[in-house]
Amino acid sequence: MPYELPELPYAYDALEPTIDEQTMRIHHGKHHQAYVDNLNKAIEGTEWDGKPLEQVLANLSSLPEDKQAAVRNNGGGHANHSLFWQIMKPGGGGDPSGSLAQAIGDTFGDADQLKAAVNDAGVKRFGSGWSWLVWDGSGLAVYSLPNQDSPLLQSDVPLLGIDVWEHAYYLRYQNRRPDYLGAWWDVVNWDEVGRRFDAARG
Ligand code: MN
């Protein structure tokens, strides 16, 4: 069973003005679709074909050596974008609640300090990549990874990730990545991030 592009859970223009409609159309319909297609090509015929992507990425070194780079890049791209669409929503923003809010307070001080840490990691990422909030098995952590590398590669659970590839923001923000990162929190879906946190923590 090949991997498939998930439907966007809202309309392409639903995240305006934070993220513009054309960026969403190209990002979801072209970039994400290409990661899915190239993942399917790379993994076809291996014993990992059709396995849950989390398992594939956590066991990358078990794949045939000549497939590893393509699965790392395109499997990571599929996993990262599938999460990205879910952790945004129209009319998002505000503050986290429940156990996630508690953990953010304990780890970072408050939500504003968490946002500052995520934005700082995203601004400092040279070239393309993502800024991540993860559950590392014992607590929350913020870091950036290059390209489409997923936190799943190092067995961390991604809770929130901001795509800082230029394709994610260039039409509206051009070279102003810090402005994009600052505005992005207006569409964050804290309920979904909290759900992922509770599931990861068990
Ligand atoms: Mn992207």
Domains of the chain: 21-86 (1.10.287.990), 98-201 (3.55.40.20)
Give me 152's structure tokens.
């799943």
For residue 142, what are the β-bridge partners?
A: 133
pLDDT at 136 over 80: yes
The pLDDT of 182-189, averaged and rounded, is 98
According to the model, what pLDDT value does residue 14 have? 98
Distance CA 94, CA 83 (A): 19
Cβ-based neighbours of 75, under 8 Å, separated by 6 or more: 35, 39, 42, 43, 53, 56, 57, 150
- In the reported structure, the alpha carbon of residue 127 is separated from the centroid of ligand 1 by a whole-number distance in angstroms of 13
Helix H segments across the chain?
21-26, 33-43, 53-58, 65-86, 98-108, 111-124, 170-173, 177-184, 190-201
C-alpha 109 – ligand 1 centre gap (Å) = 30
Residues with CB under 5 A from ligand 1 (ion): 163, 165, 168
Q: Is the pLDDT of residue 1 over 80?
A: no
Residue count of the chain: 202
Mean pLDDT of 110-120: 98
Average pLDDT, the chain: 97
Ligand 1 centre from 103 Cα, in Å?
A: 28
pLDDT at position 16, please? 98
Q: How confident is the model at residue 47 (pLDDT cuts 50, 70, 90)?
A: very high
pLDDT of residue 13: 98
Average pLDDT over residues 103-114: 98
Query: For residue 166, how far is its CA from the centre of ligand 1 (angstroms)?
Result: 8
Question: Among 184, 196, 197, which residue's Cα sits nearest to residue 89?
Answer: 184
Q: Does the pLDDT value for residue 15 go beyond 90?
A: yes
My answer on whether omega of the bond before 17 falls inside 30° of 0, hence cis, is: yes
Read off the DSSP letter of residue 120: H
- Those residues whose C-beta lies under 8 Å from the C-beta of residue 119, and which sit 6 or more positions away, are 131, 178, 181, 182
pTM, entire model: 0.97
Mean pLDDT of 89-116: 98
pLDDT tier at 202, thresholds 50, 70, 90: confident
Interval between CA 82 and ligand 1 midpoint (Å): 10
Confidence class for position 37, pLDDT limits 50, 70, 90? very high
CA dihedral 136, 9, 48, 71 (to 10 degrees): -70
Which among 142, 120, 121 is positioned nearest to 193, based on CA atoms? 142
Q: What's the 106 CA to ligand 1 centre distance in angstroms?
A: 31
The proportion of the chain whose per-residue pLDDT surpasses 90, expressed as a percent, equals 98
Give the closest residue to 121 by CA, choosing from 192, 194, 196, 177. Answer: 177
3-state secondary structure string across 68-93: HHHHHHHHHHHHHHHHHHHCECCCCC
Tell me the per-residue pLDDT of 60-80, one tens digit each, with 9 for 90 and over. 999 999 999 999 999 999 999
